[in-house]
Chains A and B, each alone.
Chain A
C-alpha cells in the first residue's frame, strides 16, 4: 500500500478555540532564537517607565457641594463608594463617589465647624462640632423620621457635651464612640452622657484628634495641641502612655494590617510611624512635604498611605520608604485638610480648603476598567521590568518621582544642577520654591551644627540620629 504523508494544517493550533479567545501564540523555545535578552529587556524597561510617565494622569473628578473648607472625611465601613464629609460652615454631605452624587446633604448640621464625622454602623452617621454637640444621623434615603432626600433632616440623637469637640471616632464593633475635646470621653450610643472620661493627669491642653485601633479595638490614641501623643485603653480605662514631641501632630491613623503601627502627621512637615510597643523613637520618618502635614490615612492594604498638607499637595507614600512619594496637585486645589483612601485601595480622596473633594487614582498610571488577561500579564511584566531595572541610570531618571527630596542631602550648593534634573516631574512653583528654601534652611542648620561640633572639645557633642530627635519625653 502506498502511504501518503500529507502536510497537515490544524487550525486549532493557530486559531482561537472560541470566538472571544485570544489567538494562541506559538513560541520558539530555542534560546538561540532569542539573543540579546538583557539589551531587549532593558529597552522594554525603559519603554515601560516612559509609558508610566505618559499615562500618569491621576485626577479623576472633583465632588462639589461644600461651601467652606472640607475639614473631615470618613468612609463607610464595608462599602466602596460612600463617604461622608463635614465642612467648616457646618455642612455635612454623604457622597456616593462612584455616581458622584449626594446621598444626603445637611447644610447646617452643626453651628460652626464640623470637626469630625464617622459612621456608627450601617446607615448611621455621627458628627461632632465646635457647637459642643455630637449628633447621630440616619443616612438612608428616607430616614426613620420619614424625611426624604430633599427634606430637612433632623438628627436621630444629640449628645450634648461640655466643651467643643475636636474629633470623633467610633469603635469598630461595639456601639461605643470616643470624642476628643479637652479630655477624651467614651460614649455609649444609647446614653446621653459619656460613660467614662480618659485623660492623662497633667494634660490640660486640647486634644485635637482621636482614633480607635482597628484590630485591637479597645486601644485608643489621641494627639493634643500640647505636642503630645497619648495612648489609651478602654479596658483598663486609663491613659497609658504619652510622648511629647518636638512639634504637634495634626492627624493620626492606625495601620489596618500592622496593628501596632500608628502614623502621625506632624506640623514639622514630616510624617512619623510609631510602633506603640516602643514609643521612644519613630520607626520611620517620612520627609517630603514642604509645609505642615494636615491629614493622613492608611491604605487598606497597610503598604501605602496618603497625606495632605498645607503645601497644597497630596502625597502617596510607600510604607517604609521615607522619601520620594507620589505627588498630586492641581492648580485650584488649596490646602489639603483631609485625605482618605477608599476601601479597595484603588482611589484616594482629598478634601481641601477650596471646598472640593477630589478623587484621585492611587496609582497614577493605572488603567481603569476591565483588563484582558494578556493585558494584565503585560502590565505585570512591565512593572517587574521597572522594578528590576530601577538601578539603571536612565530608567531611574525617568521613574524617580521626587528628585529633589531624594538627593537633597547629597547636593548642597549646586542648585542649578538640581533644578535641571528635577524637571522630571512638575511641581507647582511655590511648592518647589518652598522646597528649595527648606533645603537651604536645613542645610544651614546642619552646617552650623557641624561647625559647632568642630569647635567643641572632641567627643563632647556627638551628632544625634534624626529619629532620636523626634520624641522629647516619654511619660508614663
Chain B
C-alpha cells in the first residue's frame, strides 16, 4: 500500500504515533479514488476552479439503466477533500511533534512541515495522481500570503520593535537589497562561464532569482531561540527582519518582473533604473501609509460595535485584508500595508472589543496563518517529489555558497555601521547568530514557483535550486542553530517575572524621560513619549469607546474583588500570637509566594496604567498561543463554589464580608510604618469592624486545604486558620476562612473584566512562585464568591464598598 512510503520517511520521529487508523483509512480512500476518477480531472490548472456543473452534466448526458444505490463521485469533492486532508495531516504531525516535548527546542517547526509536505508529495507522486495540486500566482498572493503576514504583524511586540526600529530598518532593508543584488550578480558571473551551460540565463533573471532567494524566514528559528532565551535586541532584529523581509522581497520581485517583461534587456536605460528605485521607495512607504489608514478606520469602527460584538473579528480581518487588497490595486506593497494595519489597529482594537472577540481574533489569526503555511509547504513537498526538476550542479552549489557568503557580508558590514549608532552594540557573537539564522522558507519557494515560464525558460532549474537551498537551510541550519546559540553563550535575557522588576523598570523609564527632559535632549525616547502624549490626547479619544459601561463596572468589580480578596485573606490567615498586640505586631508570617495569577494581574495593572504596554517578546511563538489557564482546576472550582454558596445561604449571609468595614481589628504582620498591615495579599487579614461585632455577619466561606501533596504551607494554614481570631477591640471571635477555588472562576471573573485581559502567559514560572499557587486560589475563591453573589446583589455591594475601604 502506498502509505508505507510515508512510514519509511518517518525518520524515527514520533510524528506517526498519533496517526489514528481513521486517518489512514481516509488517506487510503483518497488515494484510491484518483485511480478511479474520470478524465475530468485533467483540467485543473488552478485549484480554485472546479465546475460543479460537470457532475450534473455527466449525469444528464448518459441515461442510466438503473439507479445506482451506491455511487462514488470523487471528482466533485476532490479539491476540498484533499486540501482538508493535507491540513489535517499537518495538524496531526504537529501534535505529534509537540508530544515529544524536546523536539520543538531542537528543530524549527518548518522542518516538520516540510517533511509532511514531502510525504504528501511522495504519496501523490507514487499514486500517479492525475492532477497534482498546483498553486498559481493569484491563489498565493491573494489567499495564502495575507494571513501569514497579518499574523506576524499582529503579534509583533511593539515596544521592543520601535526601540530598535532604526537598526531593524537599516538591517532588513539594506540587507535584503545587498543580498539580492549580490547573489544575483555573482550568479550572473558564474553563468557567464561557458563550462556550466548556463549562458542563457541573463542578468535580469539572475537578479530576480537573487531577490527571491534572499527572502529569509527566520521566524522559524525563533522558537528555537526561545528555548535558548536570547536577549531581546537580538530577538527583535530577527523578528523585524522576518517581518519586513517578505515585503521587500516581493516588491523587488515585482519590480524586476516588470523589468523582465520589457523584453529587451538592452532597452533598459538608467532612467528606468532610477524609476525602479523610486518605485521601490514609494511602494514601501505607500504600503505602510495605506496600512495605517486602514488600521485607524477599523479601530474607529470597533468603537461602535459594543452591541454586536460578534462582528468584531470580522471587522478586524476584513479591514486588514482590505488594506492588503487596496494596496495591491495601486501596485503598492500589500504586505507592508497589512503589517502596518495590524500594528496600528491592535492597540485600539484590543481595548474596544469584547473579551471573547479578542480571543477569537487571536486564535483565528493563528489558525489561518497555520493553514496557509501548511498548504504552501504541501505544495513545496509536491514539487519536490516529481519529475519537474532540472539539476545543474554548478548553479545549485554556487547558489548555496553565495547565499551564505552574501549573508555574511551583509550582516557584518551592516552591523558594523549600525553599531556605531547604537548605545549597546551587537557583539560578534550576536552577529554570528544573525548570520546563521538565515533560514529560507515558504516565501522563497512560492516566488520561485510563480515565475512565469514564458519569461523564464529555465524555471525548473530555479525551482530546484530554491528547493535545495530551503532544505539545506531549514534542516541543517535550523537544527544546529540551537546548539550553536548555547555554545556561543549568547547573552541571555533575564526572564524573571516579578512585580519588583516591573516596578523598577517603570520607574527607570520615567526617570530616564525626566532626566532627558531636564537635559533638554531630544532623543528617540522622547519621540515615543511625544507620540504617547499625542495618542492620549487625540487618538484615544477618537478611537476608544467612551462609555464602556460594561467594562467600567467590570473594572470596578475587579477592584472590589481585589479589595475583598485582600481583606478576606487577611482575616483568613492568622496566627494566634499576633492577635494580642495588634498595633505592634510587625511580623511576617509564612511568607507566601505570590501566585502567578496574582503576579499577572498586578502586572496587568502596572502595564496598562503606568506606561506604554511593554510587550514581552519572548512569549511569541509562531505556531501556537500559550494556553491561558489551567483547565483542570475548573471543575474543582465549580464544585467548591457551590459548596460555598450553600454554606453561605445556610449561615444567612448574603455577602461574604457582611460587616461594614470601618476599622480594623485585626492587625498583624506589619511593616514598621503606617498601617500595620501585612504585605502581600496572601497574608492579609480582612478588616473586620468592631462596630458590628456580630458573629453572624462574618463570611462563612470555609477555608479548605487544597489537597496538594507536599506543600508545607498548606498544612500550616489549615491548622491555623480555623480557630477564631479575637478582635482586639470587640474581642469577638469570627469564623472564617474561605473556599479555595482554583483559577477557573478567576478566569471567568477575568473573562468578565473587559479591562483586564489575560495576556499570553509566562511559562517560565519561577520556582518561588510554585508554592504560591494556593494563594492565588484563595484570592480567586474570593472572586468567585464575589462573582457568584455580585450579580444579584450588585447594588448592595456598591453601597458597601465605601464602607469597605480602609481607614
Partners in one complex: no
Q: Which residues of A pack against B, CB within 8 Å?
A: none
